Amino acid sequence: MPNSRLIILLLLVAYIFSPTLFGWVINPEGSWYRPFILWVIVIVIAYFIQVAGRSKRNDL
């Protein structure tokens, strides 16, 4: 149950800041690696959610 609250919170934050982030990513004067930074952040968050869920399930 705590993971679902975290996911809902992350989705809410992503929804609120998506226009700003989208403008930052597609800025033509920005760096070429900006979209990759966002994907790395998404992957790291997903990994930590999986690790936290797995460790709690194995503790019996």
Half-sphere exposure of 28 (CA within 13 A, CB side): 0
pLDDT range class, residue 16, cuts 50, 70, 90: very high
For the entire predicted model, the pTM comes to 0.57
Q: How far is CA 33 from CA 3, 7, 13, 21, 25, in A?
A: 30, 26, 22, 14, 9
pLDDT per residue over 24-57, tens digit each? 888 888 888 888 988 898 899 889 878 876 765 5
Rg (CA), the chain: 15
Choose among 46, 48, 24: nearest CA to 35: 24
pLDDT for the residue numbered 51: 84
Please tell me what DSSP assigns to residue 30. S
